[in-house]
């Protein structure tokens, strides 16, 4: 073809279409989820763009989405019923409005992940890892008070990153750690050095949060992810690769941990935090939880949204107790059903043969870790928990659609996976 003919052709650069706008605003939304030190957060502001853009561009609803929608709707409805006696109080009203906002984000994520699932799931994991890197770098700088950042990014001598609470920060980092671990473990990356450095930075954020819950969550979820990958992989050669990848990640983590604990001040705080169970911080909240149970048995509507603190001068520090305290009996049981069905769906996703199994083995262990933490900390208003729940139900809707395509004549696994992407 002549130069003149080439010059007459239109420029074939990147095209801006509705799908790229939807995915771009979604990517920005997930990256902004790492910034919670200010209210309203950038996440909240971007969500006001991302959700309407997605809605206007259109979507489909699969019948598998109905159970999630029903449970979420009944749960939030129970909260507003429990709010009725306290409409004249600002804090309970604000609490329920925040719950309503998170409800809409969960519905959005569930429908969003149910279409173009492979591409959007991978996009989410990459964006979430970027968010974790931002939070971890800020937290590490804050812990060492680099350029005076300790006042902003550290709390009580612990890294808090771009969050207000070191415990929330440490737990937020977990899914980013799992994703980078999986990339190394399954050899799904061509950039091992960059991925390894990213993993070390994120693990550093978890460590310097000095959050016992986050430390435990990291161990449990990484073991869960590895075990699921081993069990779900029938090929012995692949299992061998997984074990080699696990050893590489473990060695990197051990080297980093040994180096950090060689510093006396870090070792002293780590020892103090690991032995802090049962001190004055823990005993009152666990005692209040026990005291609240017989009281809640006498109150079908609970104490009312955000009124546990009025009765006990402390937050419930348990999402399961708070579900009954803030949402009443009906809301509490809806929360248990929501968690139970989500676990059932997540486990099935992680073991059933589908294009989404590998992806689910990152999302679900991270979410399961939050559910476990929910017994001893309030996770019911953590934005990323609603994103993960929506992702699990969205992937299950995609899996059901994939099965229907196979039954309707889709010839191969690859063809179905390509159609979903």
Q: Which residues are within 8 A (CB) of 235 and not within 5 positions of it... i.e. 6 or more apart?
A: none
CA gap 31, 392 in Å, rounded: 19
Position 410 scores a pLDDT of 38
pLDDT value at position 402?
Answer: 95
Where residue 154 falls (left for φ over 0; alpha for ψ -120 to 50; beta otherwise) is beta
Residue 117 contacts residue 356 (beta carbons within 8 Å): yes
Residues 268-324: tens digit of each pLDDT: 888 877 665 545 555 677 788 888 888 999 999 999 999 998 888 888 889 999 999
pLDDT digits over 133-183, tens only? 999 999 999 999 999 999 999 998 899 999 999 999 999 999 999 999 999
Q: Which region holds residue 282: left if phi is over 0, alpha if psi is between -120 and 50, else beta?
A: alpha
For 324-387, give the DSSP string: HHHHHHHHHHHHHHHHHHHHHHHHHHHHS-STTHHHHHHHHHHHHHHHHHTTTS--TT-HHHHH
Q: Both tokens of residue 62?
A: 């699969």
Return the axis-axis angle of helices 383-407 and 319-351, rounded to nearest 10°.
Answer: 30
pLDDT at 203: 93
- In this structure, what token pair is assigned to residue 307? 């009124």
| 372 class by beta-carbon count within 10 Å (0-12 exposed, 13-18 middle, 19+ buried) | middle
What is the per-residue DSSP string for 28-50? HHHHHTT--SSSS-HHHHHHHHH
Cα(55)–Cα(244) distance, integer angstroms: 44
Segments of the chain with pLDDT less than 50:
1-13, 278, 409-421
* pLDDT of the residue at 276: 58
How is residue 266 written in tokens? 């870090």
d(CA 156, CA 167): 12
Tell me the C-alpha to C-alpha distance, in Å, between residue 395 and each of 12, 51, 163, 273, 355.
33, 19, 28, 38, 10
Question: What's the half-sphere exposure (Cβ side, CA atoms, 13 Å) at 15?
Answer: 6
Q: Where are the alpha helices (DSSP H) in 116-235?
A: 117-143, 150-153, 166-172, 174-185, 192-208, 212-232
Cis peptide, bond prior to residue 40, ω within 30 of zero: yes
Paired strand residues for 159: 154
């Amino acid at each position: 073809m002549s130069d003149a003919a080439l010059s007459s052709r239109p420029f074939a650069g990147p095209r801006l279409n509705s799908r790229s706008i939807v995915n771009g605003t979604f990517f920005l939304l997930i990256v902004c989820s790492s910034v919670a030190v200010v209210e309203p957060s950038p996440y909240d502001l971007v969500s006001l763009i991302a959700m309407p853009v997605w809605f206007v561009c259109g979507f489909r609803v699969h019948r598998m989405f109905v159970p999630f929608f029903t449970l979420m709707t009944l749960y939030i409805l129970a909260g507003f019923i429990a709010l009725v006696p306290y409409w004249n109080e600002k804090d309970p009203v604000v609490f329920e409005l925040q719950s309503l906002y998170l409800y809409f984000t969960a519905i959005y994520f569930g429908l969003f992940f149910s279409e173009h699932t492979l591409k959007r799931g991978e996009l989410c994991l990459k964006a979430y890892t970027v968010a974790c890197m931002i939070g971890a770098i800020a937290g590490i700088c804050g812990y060492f008070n680099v350029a005076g950042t300790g006042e902003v990014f550290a709390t009580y001598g612990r890294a808090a990153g771009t969050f207000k609470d070191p415990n929330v920060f440490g737990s937020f980092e977990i899914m980013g750690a799992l994703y980078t671990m999986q990339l190394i473990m399954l050899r799904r990356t061509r950039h091992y050095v960059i991925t390894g450095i990213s993993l070390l930075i994120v693990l550093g954020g978890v460590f310097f949060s000095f959050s016992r819950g986050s430390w435990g969550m990291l161990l449990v979820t990484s073991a869960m992810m590895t075990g699921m990958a081993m069990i779900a992989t029938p090929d012995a050669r692949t299992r061998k690769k997984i074990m080699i990848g696990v050893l590489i990640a473990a060695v990197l983590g051990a080297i980093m941990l040994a180096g950090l604990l060689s510093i006396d001040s870090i070792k002293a705080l780590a020892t103090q935090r690991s032995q802090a169970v049962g001190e004055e911080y823990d005993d009152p909240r666990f005692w209040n939880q026990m005291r609240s149970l017989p009281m809640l048995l006498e109150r079908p509507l609970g104490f009312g949204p955000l009124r546990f603190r009025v009765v006990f001068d402390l937050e419930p520090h348990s999402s399961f107790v708070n579900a009954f305290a803030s949402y009443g009996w009906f809301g509490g049981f809806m929360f248990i059903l929501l968690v139970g069905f989500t676990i059932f769906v997540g486990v099935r996703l992680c073991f059933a043969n589908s294009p989404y199994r590998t992806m689910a083995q990152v999302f679900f262990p991270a979410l399961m870790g939050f559910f476990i933490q929910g017994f001893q900390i309030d996770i019911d208003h953590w934005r990323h928990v609603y994103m993960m729940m929506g992702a699990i139900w969205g992937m299950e809707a995609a899996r059901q659609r994939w099965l229907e395509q196979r039954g309707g004549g889709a010839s191969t696994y690859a063809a179905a996976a390509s159609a979903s992407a």
